Amino acid sequence: MEKSKQLDIVPLGDRAFLIRFKDEERARSWYFAARIRSFAGVDDFVLAYRSAAVYFNPDRVDPDELVIDLESIEPRAVEKQPAATIVLPVLYDGADLADVAERLGLSMEDVINEHTSRNYHVFAIGFQPGFPYGGYLSERLTGVPRLESPRSRAPAGSVAIAGRQTGVYPSDSPGGWRILGRTPLRIVDFEREIFPIQAGDSLRFRSIDRDEFLRREGTLLDPNIDT
């Protein structure tokens, strides 16, 4: 493969390219533009922070010709990006809420108001299937470090923050992020391989009371109806 002159493209084996960008917004804009194009032999585009991976079948497309096609993509303007905005209800009773507030010099109510005050771009999915890395936090919430010793169990649905980011644990697992609360909704269905939250989407959190939490506990997230 000849080196791309317009995009920073590097091979990932013989069936994928990694395209690197200067910042997250350029990666996101390019990704949305790519997703609406039709490319023979391309199986998938995967967004992650300042990069996008392109997976293709070399039996159906010539890699050098694909590079030319990828370079022709014009990034979509932010306001035209076809991303979903997913609103997650959250009961803010997390084990670390009081500690986070103390560390930041805020009240717990201030922390909740800050966390629910903006949309968060989902930059990537991982460290476990379905875990959304959302960002960025407001300056008032930024800078809280991970736990020095990760807890052995962060319950499924835990909504947490660390550094500049926020995320949601899709299943019970060890975890070192600071837990602010929990959503009653299941954000994945592993048995049916349903993952409603995708890289490129936006997340927003809405504070709820215990009654609503109990009423909706265990319901699978439906991005089309949940608010």
pTM, full prediction: 0.82
Q: How many domains does the chain have?
A: 2
Bridge partners (DSSP) of residue 205 are 88
Instruction: State the residue range of the domain holding 172.
Output: 85-216
In this predicted model, what pLDDT tens digit does every residue of 173-190 receive, in sequence order? 999 999 999 999 999 999
Residue 224 domain flag: no
Q: Closest Cα to residue 123, out of 22, 187, 201?
A: 201
In the predicted structure, residue 227 carries a pLDDT above the cut 90: no
Q: How confident is the model at residue 108 (pLDDT cuts 50, 70, 90)?
A: very high
DSSP string, 86-140: EEEEEB---TTHHHHHHHHT--HHHHHHHHTSS-EEEEEE-SSTT-EEEE---TT
Residues 122 and 185 in one domain: yes
Residue where a domain terminates, one of 22, 55, 80: 80
Does residue 93 share a domain with residue 106? yes
Q: Does residue 89 share a domain with residue 58?
A: no
> Residue 213: what pLDDT?
98
Render pLDDT for 193-203 as a digit per residue (tens, 0 to 9). Answer: 999 999 989 99
- 197 and 93 inside one domain: yes
Instruction: Answer yes or no: is 146 within a domain.
Output: yes
pLDDT, tens digit (0-9, with 9 covering 90-100), for 51-98: 999 999 999 999 999 999 999 998 765 444 556 789 999 999 999 999
CATH number at residue 89: 2.40.100.10
**CA count, 13 A, side-chain hemisphere, 27:** 25
Q: Do 180 and 205 form a contact (C-beta atoms < 8 A)?
A: no
Shared-domain flag, residues 160 and 175: yes
Are 52 and 91 in a shared domain? no
Whether 54 and 90 share a structural domain = no
Q: What is the percent of the chain where pLDDT is above 90?
A: 78
Q: Does residue 109 register a pLDDT over 90?
A: yes
128, 44: one domain: no
Whether 119 and 155 map to the same domain: the answer is yes
Question: For the chain, what percent of residues have pLDDT higher than 70?
Answer: 93
CATH of the domain at 72: 3.30.1360.40
Tell me the two tokens of residue 3. Answer: 């080196």
